[in-house]
Amino acid sequence: MSWLRIRELVRKEFILLFRDPRTRRVLITAPLVMLLLFGYVVNYDIKLIRVGLLDQSHTRESRMVVDAFSASKIFMITQILRDDRELEQSLLNAKVDMAIKIGPDLARKIRKGETAEIQIIADGTMSNMASIRIAYSVQIIDKINQDLLKELYPQRMDYGKIDGRIRTWYNSNLDSQHFFVPGIVAFVVMLITLLLTSIAVIKEKEMGTIEQLIVTPLKPTELILGKTIPYIIISLAQMVMVTIIAIFWFEIPLAGSIFLLFSATCLFLLSTLGVGLFISTVSKTQQQAMMTTFFFILPFFMLSGFVFPIVNMPVFVQWLTYLNPLRYMLIIIRGIFLKGVGIDVLWHQYAAMAILGVVVFTAAIRRFRKRLD
Amino acid sequence: MLNLRNIQAVTRKEFYHLIRDFRSLYLAFALPLLLILLFGYALSLDVDNVETVVVDYDNTDFSRDFIRHLDGSPYFHIAAHLPNTKAATDYLDEGRAILVIVIPVNWTRDIRSERVSPLQALLDGSDPSFANITRGYVNAFISQYNQKLLIQFLNRQGMEQIKPPVDGQIRVWFNEDLESRNFIVPGIIAVIIMIVGAMLTSLIIAREYENGTMETIKSLPLTAGEFLIGKAIPYFFVGLTDVLISILMGQVLFGVVMKSSFWLMIMASSIYLAVALALGLFISSVTKSQLLANQGAILLTYLPSLLLSNFVFPVINMPKVLQLVTYIVPATYFINILSGLYLRNLGLAHLWPSYLVMIVMFTVLAALNYVLLKREGL
């Protein structure tokens, strides 16, 4: 193996890549845009629930109910509705997230000691958001009940009750950015290496220059190294860039060790470069390579726990996720960033990623070599 | 003037290209299958059976009853009973549980002597959406339990048969069983169309430039309009087939049925597909390089239609600037139509503004494409 030959190939690869100033710009802006998009878009915090109110009772009791809702900062009564038709329209047009209907007999029933119904109609379109909204309104209803009971039975009301003290660990403000931004580091690295490595080889094929490379004294191993090293360098640089922005712009505390993060990225690269090389062996044109890349990236992304929790998946699919390098990488990155855990907790993930990486990479190299011979 | 025979010739050439490149075509059909299967079968944002571990230092009938109720609720699943807090926090560290409930000593005694008694809950907040929902569940569970305790207390005080004064009857509209799948499966059509429509077409003019065949095309008696329409037609049919596959699969495999009219759906999909194709062709003629076009298509079409369209990420939670951006993302309008047709059972009377916006978008993009190619000398 000659390092000189590898170095020259790497140099050629860099020249080709950077000759077009637009490619340079894309290599910098693509991760930036992704970082900003994911950093600001993926946010399930409930800050505001828009409520449409249909109060047919207009009594002191019904105002108590309404006040209980508007006293909480999250509920905001945005529409006062006059009849059922308006209620239906406001939900249909998505003007409100939830409608509350207080029937005309609310006060009468409460004063008689009966249970009065309050109808709460939630827009279920986004079911996860609807679940949170419903949970919030259940609490408000319980609070109304306690207030009303205290008023109806004004004696000593110090009854034994549970005070739920919920503490949140790792991401105590439940900040969505803290969860999603570190994951983008992994995603960007994957996207760039998968696509660029396969394209680098395919372009030689399309232009017919691959034959010229084969007749040069370049050995297959050198060719592979020369074709992958530039992208290792680029993706590591991107990883550093994204990490810096995550820490300084999004102010995400890096609780764990930066060295662990770096070594995890290197192990992760083994798998992604392997897949990239594999794609280059099965594709003839750039279009094919890009479509195939997408075919790999989508399931990698979806089945990694990046947005969709793995525990929610059917058991069979959960098993499949063990074949996904991004799954391990995300656990490691989030562990390092948020939990600050070390290798003692994460070594399973490192080991799994290393094994997966070595298997994928060697398989890809063997296939690649066969194609060259 | 558009000459139909010229369009036909370009279409035939592009069609042969598509057929010959068998795998791209096959992927264009396999992609929707994969996405629908993934989203319909595997991916869910709904939270139930939260993995919970309990540490019961009190260990009385009352505390055990509390835990039994917790496990009985569909929202929690007790994964383990652990002897101490340390063991439980290890579960949290290793990600084997999301929630730890710690019942302190003398908990029952405090409650029985009418005092407020703390219950400790530790929650893994790393996934904020999951944690938020779980926190809501825990709070709702405790407040309902307290209400039961209050009624019991009042009954003990000699006031028998006390009922809670109000009963919140919660109903869910449009997605009655609160399954994220019911919205995500139709919504994914917006992403599929963008991938197939814009990503595939983003390559086709760039390819002519890269191969140098653009010069040949310029010398032909072919107008820019004929060239664009001819190029787009094969992909229009590929995209429309994908839409049909998606509708069918959603219905057959996952029982996600359109509540409104099928033809409104086809109409909306066709307009949206036309927007996607125009966008793809535009990216293609601007970049003139397949790699750049592909990156551009990912950034300008795929990601926005996934992220900035109110599909799985609520627009209402975004910063104001991004909320404004969503207005120029075509998928926003298509997703709105999809939720209207699939879940809300709306007709053209409600949805026409979204149709109109997409038509305007298409017209603008088509004009841009035309002008751009004209300037190139076609």
Domain ranges of chain B: 4-44+179-376, 50-156
A310 and A205 co-located in one domain: yes
Contact B140 A139 (CB under 8 A): yes
Res. B281: pLDDT tops 90: yes
pLDDT of residue A253: 83
Walk across the sheet containing B166-173 and list its strands: A75-80, A49-55, A98-102, A116-123, B166-173
Q: Is residue A168 part of a domain?
A: no
A320 and A207 co-located in one domain: yes
A192 and A119 co-located in one domain: no
Helix, strand or coil, per DSSP, at residue A49: strand
Q: How confident is the model at residue B364 (pLDDT cuts 50, 70, 90)?
A: very high
Q: Which residues of chain A make contact with B176, given a CB cutoff of 8 A?
A: 124
Q: How confident is the model at residue A367 (pLDDT cuts 50, 70, 90)?
A: confident
Please state, in angstroms and as integers, the Cα–Cα distance from residue A100 to each residue in A89, A130, B143, B168, B262, following that order.
Answer: 14, 14, 20, 9, 33
Tell me the mean pLDDT in the region B183-206: 87
A219 and A106 co-located in one domain: no
Q: Which of B52, B101, B172, B205 to mutate to test the interface with A (most CBs of A within 10 A)?
A: B172
A35 and A53 co-located in one domain: no
pLDDT of residue A180: 82
A141 and A181 co-located in one domain: no
Give domain B50-156's CATH number out of 3.30.70.20, 3.30.470.30, 3.50.50.60, 3.40.1710.10: 3.40.1710.10
Q: Is residue A160 part of a domain?
A: no
Q: How far apart are CA A182 and CA A244, in angstroms?
A: 11
Q: Which residues of chain A make contact with B144, given a CB cutoff of 8 A?
A: 138, 142
A308/chain B closest Cα distance in angstroms: 6
% of chain A beyond a pLDDT of 90: 13
The CATH number for A65's domain is 3.40.1710.10
Say if A63 is an interface residue toward chain B (CB within 8 Å).
no
Res. B296: pLDDT tops 80: yes
Res. B220: pLDDT tops 80: yes
Main-chain dihedrals φ then ψ at residue A119, nearest 5 degrees? -90, 130
Tell me the mean pLDDT in the region B32-43: 83
A368 and A311 co-located in one domain: yes
Decide: B176 and A124 in contact? Cβ < 8 Å: yes
Of B111, B26, B115, B11, nearest to B61 by C-alpha is B111
Contact B46 A131 (CB under 8 A): yes
A window 348-367, beta carbon within 8 A of B: none
pLDDT of residue B279: 94
Q: How confident is the model at residue A172 (pLDDT cuts 50, 70, 90)?
A: low
Query: How many Cβ pairs closer than 8 A exist between chain A and B?
Result: 365
Q: Is residue A159 part of a domain?
A: no
A222 and A142 co-located in one domain: no
Q: How far apart are CA A54 and CA A43, in angstroms?
A: 30
pLDDT of residue A39: 81
Q: How far apart are CA A123 and CA A117, in angstroms?
A: 19
Q: Which residues of chain B make contact with A33, given a CB cutoff of 8 A?
A: 299, 303
Structurally, chain A folds into a number of domains equal to: 2
Res. A344: pLDDT tops 90: no
Of A158, A141, A136, A156, nearest to A64 by C-alpha is A141
Q: Which of B27, B37, B129 to mutate to test the interface with A (most CBs of A within 10 A)?
A: B129
Tell me the mean pLDDT in the region A326-344: 87
* A219, burial (CB in 10 Å: exposed 0-12, middle 13-18, buried 19+): middle
Which of B143, B203, B317 shows the shortest C-beta gap to A45?
B317
Tell me the mean pLDDT in the region B205-220: 85
Tell me the mean pLDDT in the region B157-163: 68
Contact A160 B292 (CB under 8 A): no
pLDDT of residue B358: 96
pLDDT of residue B26: 79
pLDDT of residue A107: 87
A window 122-181, beta carbon within 8 A of B: 122-132, 134-139, 141-146, 148-149, 152-153, 155, 158-176, 178-179
Domain around A83: 49-152
Instruction: Give the pLDDT confidence of B184-193 residue by residue, as tens digits.
Output: 888 889 988 9
Minimum mean pLDDT range among A119-128, A200-209, B85-94, B151-160: B151-160
Contact B166 A145 (CB under 8 A): yes
The nearest alpha carbon in chain B to A172 belongs to B125
Alpha helices by DSSP H, A208-307: 209-215, 220-248, 258-282, 286-302
Q: How far apart are CA A211 and CA A195, in angstroms?
A: 22
Q: Is residue A165 part of a domain?
A: no
pLDDT of residue A193: 84
A window 291-330, beta carbon within 8 A of B: 291-292, 294-295, 298-299, 302-303, 307-309, 311-314, 317
Q: How confident is the model at residue A372 (pLDDT cuts 50, 70, 90)?
A: low
Of A204, A258, A203, A196, nearest to A233 by C-alpha is A196
Contact A120 B132 (CB under 8 A): no
Q: What is the pTM of this model?
A: 0.81
Instruction: Give the pLDDT confidence of A199-257 residue by residue, as tens digits.
Output: 888 888 888 887 787 788 878 788 888 888 888 888 888 888 888 988 888 888 888 88
A17 and A68 co-located in one domain: no
CB count in 10 Å sphere of residue A67: 12
Average pLDDT taken over every residue of chain A: 84
pLDDT of residue B276: 95
pLDDT of residue A36: 83
A108 and A73 co-located in one domain: yes
Instruction: Give the pLDDT confidence of A282-321 residue by residue, as tens digits.
Output: 888 887 888 888 888 888 988 888 888 887 788 888 899 9
- Residue where a domain stops, chosen among A108, A137, A152: A152
Tell me the mean pLDDT in the region A30-37: 83
Q: How confident is the model at residue B7 (pLDDT cuts 50, 70, 90)?
A: confident
Q: How far apart are CA A146 and CA B263, in angstroms?
A: 52
- Residue where a domain stops, chosen among A96, A120, A152: A152
Q: Is residue A299 part of a domain?
A: yes
Q: Is residue A164 part of a domain?
A: no
B371/chain A closest Cα distance in angstroms: 22
Please state, in angstroms and as integers, the Cα–Cα distance from residue A327 to each residue in A186, A307, B50, B166, B244, following that order.
Answer: 10, 11, 20, 47, 32
A123 and A226 co-located in one domain: no
pLDDT of residue B350: 87
What is the distance in angstroms between the CA of the first residue and the CA of the last residue of chain B? Answer: 13
Q: Which residues of chain B make contact with A238, given a CB cutoff of 8 A?
A: none
% of chain B beyond a pLDDT of 90: 24
Instruction: Give the pLDDT confidence of B59-111 residue by residue, as tens digits.
Output: 899 899 999 998 888 889 998 899 988 888 888 877 788 899 999 888 888 88
Which of A166, A312, A314 shows the shortest C-beta gap to B46?
A312
% of chain B beyond a pLDDT of 70: 98
Q: How confident is the model at residue A373 (pLDDT cuts 50, 70, 90)?
A: low
pLDDT of residue A156: 61
Helix/strand/coil (H, E, C) string of chain B?
CCCHHHHHHHHHHHHHHHHHCHHHHHHHHHHHHHHHHHHHHHCCCCCCCEEEEEEECCCCHHHHHHHHHHHHCCCEEEEEEECCHHHHHHHHHCCCCCEEEEECCCHHHHHHCCCEEEEEEEEECCCHHHHHHHHHHHHHHHHHHHHHHHHHHHHHCCCCCCCCCEEEEEEEECCCCCCCHHHHHHHHHHHHHHHHHHHHHHHHHHHHHHHCHHHHHHHCCCCHHHHHHHHHHHHHHHHHHHHHHHHHHHHHHHCCCCCCCHHHHHHHHHHHHHHHHHHHHHHHHHHCCHHHHHHHHHHHHHHHHHHCCCCCCCHHHCCHHHHHHHCCCHHHHHHHHHHHHHHHCCCHHHHHHHHHHHHHHHHHHHHHHHHHHHHHCC
Tell me the mean pLDDT in the region A93-122: 87
pLDDT of residue B1: 64
Tell me the mean pLDDT in the region A117-139: 86
Q: Is residue A162 part of a domain?
A: no
Say if A373 is an interface residue toward chain B (CB within 8 Å).
no
Decide: B99 and B132 in contact? Cβ < 8 Å: no
A275-289, B115-129, B334-348 — most confident range: B334-348
Strands annotated E in A17-114? 49-55, 75-80, 98-102
Average pLDDT taken over every residue of chain B: 86
pLDDT of residue B161: 64
- Residue where a domain stops, chosen among A121, A152, A183: A152
Say if A72 is an interface residue toward chain B (CB within 8 Å).
no
A1/chain B closest Cα distance in angstroms: 31
Contact A312 B316 (CB under 8 A): no
Minimum mean pLDDT range among A7-16, B28-37, B126-135: B126-135
Q: Is residue A113 part of a domain?
A: yes
pLDDT of residue B159: 65
Count of positions (residues) in chain A: 373
pLDDT of residue A158: 67
Res. B198: pLDDT tops 80: yes
Tell me the mean pLDDT in the region B177-203: 86
A130/chain B closest Cα distance in angstroms: 8
Q: How far apart are CA B281 and CA B14, in angstroms?
A: 13
